[in-house]
A and B are shown apart, each in its own frame.
Chain A
């Protein structure tokens, strides 16, 4: 963004700029591409591949030059895409968007091309959508940056794991327990830290996330430490299991319905179950946003002092935002545990929190549709790039940077206010100022 877009930059200037970029790239390439330390039996040895250095320089030089020349036309070409808003005439159809999407998603496992792999991928994506829907309440609506959301995910998962293995509960009571336990933890955590603001709050949530992970990792007698918990109860449909043989005194799905047993049934059931949970969560959030509590969340994000002076109790509003977000995190965790049949602390590290936060921010904070698009992107992109195996995480990091530069407010940033006075004309609001 070196120069204003309207004034054309002279070519020699661009050439110089690209030249500098190329030289810097060469300098940066020396210690990592040009020299490589190799472990041998007698210690480290340095290999030299200095040919890579000028190669990196030339590539960056050309890339910078071509991008610089194309940036203007490219921005012009993508401007309609970038500023695309659903036309006002579709406003009446909007309430149908959600149900239609859910129906389409529900049909996925029965389509001809659906196989185990696609259903599994869909299940994973839905777990992330549910998680991000929860975090979206805390971060997107209430404006409280949370860097330790994986803690609530972990608490839900472990509550489910322990109640089903130690107390022999079924999946459904465990699901409720998982959500409630997460919510309770969120209330307990949020009470002492509500005085904190912005980044201080963020680091405390990060600390809480790490504390949770370390305690789970080291509390061997309860959680099994790094070995995790296995043998978690599978979800059942009104008491029917999806196994080949019924457990003592129970029935299987295929026995009762007469549909021949197939191992895919369990996968499809899991998929439909998480779809139902996620749809319910999204619907709840959409309704909550229109209730006083939801409006208070958004008001608090915009201006805490104004909220106070209008008689909103910031403490209650913050606690409720945390608790509702954590509830969804806990439900997702519980479902995750039941789906895998196994949990271990590895699944709940900081990278998990960062991924969920990335979904919320990439999608555009506060936007449910954005969450869905970003979650699909985050789950599906690394899968598509599986062919590049080693390079996929590299590409993933690069994609995060590029999307943020392209659309700093997230993919679906310009959203309408949730609620407005009935006489006021609709006008688009600039993206959330968080």
Chain B
């Protein structure tokens, strides 16, 4: 019994870690795409995710008030609305705070991004209030995979929804990057922006669309977190953004599969470390592993090493 219980606990941590990792991974993609194309750390990306979560809460509350009871319908509407508005925020942020700085020294857009992050946090705090918002559980239930005395290994519907949606989005995204004209333009801009422009690619438009796509994915992560925890406040973007950025670097910044892998790893490390060792030090574990990985592989797990030209 003791052994099976240990296996069960392990599997439970695995499920929780995968769920968390999926959310981090989706945010990390936004970091990695933007970094790949304009070599900047979009520090405000965590706030984009927070904005997505707030729009989700508002939309859910409106739908509940309007008497929409069908969960799938509500989910589709919330996802659509949150993605649309959040993408608009992503587009605007690039246009206002980053585009004027495209040829500036490297740290200028980074400081502008920190300013944007402070601005957005305070904007949401002022307009929506500083108190945390909690939502009644929208999606309940789940399956018990395994049962033994007091212990049961469960997979909730929300977790299933998060993991499946992430897998689907990743598959769709890989297709977009590898098979569509937009993806081709993005990869071209990533390699050489000037050359891409000479060959007739609208670089400004490609960069804008990159921000739009990244913000859309962050909004999905925001909706997921609203469903999963049910409580959000204006400050959630900071920590999540930092972890997602860590995930992107861990996987190798600029690499899409790397971002997803990094997100999953950070999620799993957090879940296992808080399950088996200490939840107070779970972030220490995540950052320590990041440092260890970078010491061994300085460009992250799946990143290509930078070739230095003299």
Contacts and interface: CB of A to CB of B under 8 A. Distances in A.
Interface in A365-400: 365, 390-391, 393-394, 396-400
A321 B128 CA distance: 44
A405 B15 CA distance: 45
A106 interface: no
A30 B128 contact: no
A305 interface: yes
Contacts of A358: 111, 114-115
Q: Considering residues A33, A390, A393, A433, which has the most beta carbons from chain B within 10 angstroms of its beta carbon?
A: A393
A192 B295 contact: yes
B255 interface: no
A187 to B, nearest CB: 16
A36 interface: yes
Contact of B58 (A31, A207, A208, A394): A31
B58 A46 contact: yes
Contacts of A401: 96-97, 112, 115-116, 119
Given A207-B291, A305-B308, A393 B118 contact: yes
Nearest to B290: A207
A37 B62 CA distance: 9
Contacts of A432: 105
A139 B108 CA distance: 13
Contacts of A256: none
Given A390-B126, A391-B126, A434-B106, A204 B291 contact: yes
Q: Considering residues A45, A210, A408, which has the most beta carbons from chain B within 10 angstroms of its beta carbon?
A: A408
A70 interface: no
A315 to B, nearest CB: 14
Contacts of B300: 200
Given A28-B88, A203-B246, A405-B100, A214 B105 contact: no
Nearest to A303: B310
A211 B284 contact: yes
A393 B125 CA distance: 11
A401 B246 CA distance: 24
B74 interface: no
Contacts of B290: 203-204, 207
A145 interface: yes
Interface stretch (B131-139, B156-164, B179-187): B131-139
Contact of B283 (A202, A214, A396, A431): A214
A400 B101 CA distance: 13
A171 B274 CA distance: 39
A400 B128 contact: no
B203 interface: no
Interface string B266-310: 000000000000001101100110110011001110000010101
Contacts of A398: 115, 119
B107 A397 contact: no
A43 B136 contact: yes
B92 interface: yes
A316 interface: no
A399 B112 CA distance: 9
Nearest to B118: A397
Contact of A37 (B61, B91, B122): B61
A393 B122 contact: yes
Nearest to A309: B310
Given A32-B127, A192-B291, A193-B295, A202 B41 contact: yes
A421 B35 CA distance: 39
Contacts of A206: 242, 246
B135 A357 contact: no
Interface in A57-77: none
A13 interface: no
Contacts of A325: none
Interface bracket on A: 35 or more
B173 interface: no
Q: Considering residues B61, B97, B111, which has the most beta carbons from chain A within 10 angstroms of its beta carbon?
A: B111
A361 B107 contact: yes
A235 B120 CA distance: 40
B143 interface: no
A322 to B, nearest CB: 15
B80 to A, nearest CB: 13
A27 B119 contact: no
B57 interface: yes
Contact of B128 (A36, A200, A350): A36
A197 to B, nearest CB: 7
A404 B126 contact: no
A105 interface: no
B111 A357 contact: yes
Given A203-B245, A404-B109, A46 B65 contact: yes
A79 interface: no
A391 B100 CA distance: 25
B283 A404 contact: no
Given A28-B92, A397-B119, A200 B284 contact: no
B228 interface: no
Q: Considering residues B62, B88, B92, B118, which has the most beta carbons from chain A within 10 angstroms of its beta carbon?
A: B118
A218 B117 contact: no
A32 B115 contact: no
B58 A195 contact: no
A206 B107 CA distance: 15
A398 B118 CA distance: 8
A31 to B, nearest CB: 5
Contact of A404 (B55, B101, B242): B101
A28 B89 contact: yes
Nearest to A33: B127
Contacts of A208: 287, 291
Interface in A97-140: 139
B193 interface: no
A44 B57 contact: yes
A346 interface: no
Given A404-B104, A404-B115, 19 more contacts: A28-B88, A38-B129, A44-B61, A44-B133, A197-B306, A206-B246, A208-B291, A210-B287, A306-B310, A357-B114, A361-B111, A365-B105, A391-B126, A393-B121, A394-B118, A394-B119, A397-B115, A397-B122, A401-B116
25 contacts: A24-B88, A31-B58, A37-B61, A145-B107, A196-B294, A199-B249, A200-B249, A200-B300, A207-B291, A210-B287, A211-B287, A211-B288, A357-B111, A361-B107, A391-B122, A394-B118, A394-B119, A394-B123, A397-B120, A397-B121, A400-B111, A401-B96, A405-B97, A408-B101, A409-B108
6 A-B pairs closest in CB distance: A400-B115, A408-B104, A397-B119, A397-B118, A207-B287, A408-B108
